[in-house]
Copies of this chain bind each other. A is one copy, B any other.
Amino acid sequence: MKIVCLGAGNVATHMANAFKENGAEITQVWSRDLATAQALALQIGAEAISDLNDVETFADLYLIAVKDDAIAEVANGLKKINGIVVHTSGATGMDVLQDHKDYGVFYPLQTFSKSQPIDFIHVPLCLEANTEENMTSLQMIAMKLTPLIYEVESKKREILHVAGVFACNFVNHLYTLSHEILKENALDFEMLRPLIMETATKVQEALPEQVQTGPAIRDDIKTISKHEELLSKTPHLQDIYRNLSNSIKKTHS
């Protein structure tokens, strides 16, 4: 299987490496910036290019893993190619690729860090395709990476993306705020790490609404008041404390 990787950022790097490890050949890496393309191309033994006119015409998959705003431009720059063109975006409809004959979406519902490798068996892939035949092809390709394969249309993929903002981006921000609280009091973030890990582990089996704990769900007004007082010098933290405590009460009432 031959894949052309369009993009050389975080997602592109993780996906290209995962494909390579699982026996696919990444023939080319394109990036607007040749040095960026080269950095990834070197890792995976591909050719680095920075001109879309140099993209080869007979790969099986053209993987567009660039910023959302750049997808249309890259897709429209691909001429006379014969494989399936996919993008990897959660927030972008499939129709941005509709000028191609065969196209679809290959959206990894996961967070990628530059520094941290990730095992793709823990990466759900949400697929969409313009024909049933292309869906079957994408499923075959996805199976090389992960058993977690879902068929998800554009509208539902957007929903997944916004749910992911709550479950990942906002969650990480709460970790950041907890670190802010600790720092101001010369306490080490290290102390919270086991709690963070266990909180995520609990919902791997249970549903989160079944395992909610804390003062808000107990309606423990005394503790809530004490916490609000402790946060009185940091009104932005106090606000979020109030909002989320009220939201917990409403959800569970």
Chain A residues near B (Cβ < 8 Å): 68-69, 91, 109-111, 113, 115-116, 118, 122-124, 126, 148, 150, 152, 156, 158-182, 185, 187, 189, 191-209, 211-217, 220, 222-223, 226-227, 230-231, 236, 239-241, 243-244, 247-248, 250-251
Contacts and interface: CB of A to CB of B under 8 A. Distances in A.
A181 B162 contact: yes
Given A168-B199, A169-B213, A176-B208, 4 more contacts: A162-B227, A171-B199, A176-B212, A240-B244
A162 B83 CA distance: 54
A197 to B, nearest CB: 5
Contact of A202 (B111, B195, B199): B111
Contact of A200 (B126, B196, B250): B196
A173 B230 contact: no
A66 B185 CA distance: 27
B68 A222 contact: yes
B178 A192 contact: no
Contact of A168 (B172, B196, B205): B196
Given A111-B199, A160-B191, A171-B171, A214 B118 contact: no
A192 B179 contact: no
B195 A168 contact: yes
17 contacts: A91-B226, A91-B227, A118-B198, A148-B194, A156-B185, A158-B230, A159-B230, A160-B182, A168-B198, A169-B217, A171-B199, A175-B203, A179-B209, A189-B207, A196-B200, A199-B200, A200-B200
Given A118-B198, A195-B110, A167 B158 contact: no
Number of copies: 2
By secondary structure, the A interface counts as helix
A175 B210 CA distance: 11
B196 A244 contact: no
A91 B223 contact: yes
A185 B187 CA distance: 41
A212 B172 contact: yes
A146 to B, nearest CB: 9
Contact of A113 (B109, B173, B202): B202
A170 B231 CA distance: 15
Which 10 residue pairs across A and B have the least CB separation, nearest first?
Answer: A169-B214, A200-B200, A175-B208, A167-B178, A166-B178, A163-B178, A176-B208, A163-B181, A122-B194, A159-B185
